[in-house]
Amino acid sequence: MSNPKELYYTKDHDWLKIEGNKAVMGITDYAQNELGDIVFVELPAVGDEFAKGDSIAVVESVKAASDIYAPISGVVTAINETLVDSPELANESPFEEGWFIEFEITNEDEVKELLSASEYDELVKGD
């Protein structure tokens, strides 16, 4: 699966779709492939505020449990309830139905530190 060019990425294999001061976030196809079959997802609550680097979600797969860290600071405005009930969506549709959270960006300067699709492609090529 190719990485959508309109998204931003992190070295931790998260993606962000940014529109104005809002962002939607999930894990990349590479991340879900490395994790294996995802069996549980724990998401934050709407209204939770977080800083860049905070643990904001937990993903458990048949291989391991992994914390998901905030790539930029924000306040949760929506969570993907469907993903909680059907965690396999993170494997089946990581860029569409498998999104994790929507949030309001509280530090727009942090967006500059994210990777473009081509930069992320180069990163995963090395793995």
Q: pLDDT in tens for each of the 127 residues of the chain?
A: 679 999 999 999 999 999 999 999 999 999 999 999 999 999 999 999 999 999 999 999 998 899 999 999 999 999 999 999 999 999 999 999 999 999 999 999 999 999 999 999 999 997 6
* CATH (residue range 8-107): 2.40.50.100
Residue 123 corresponds to which tokens in the numbers above?
A: 């990163």
Let me know if 71 is exposed, middle or buried by CB neighbors in 10 A (0-12, 13-18, 19+): buried
What pLDDT does 1 receive?
Answer: 60
DSSP code of residue 37: S
What pLDDT does 57 receive?
Answer: 97
Sequence-ordered list of residues with C-beta below 8 angstroms from that of 110, at least 6 positions apart, any chain:
52, 71, 72, 73
- Number of Cβ within a 10 Å radius of residue 33: 14
What pLDDT does 6 receive?
Answer: 96
Q: Are 33 and 115 in contact (CB under 8 A)?
A: no
The one-letter amino acid code at 92 reads: E
Sequence-ordered list of residues with C-beta below 8 angstroms from that of 72, at least 6 positions apart, any chain:
16, 23, 52, 105, 107, 110, 111, 113, 114
What pLDDT does 127 receive?
Answer: 66
Beta bridge partners of 40: 60
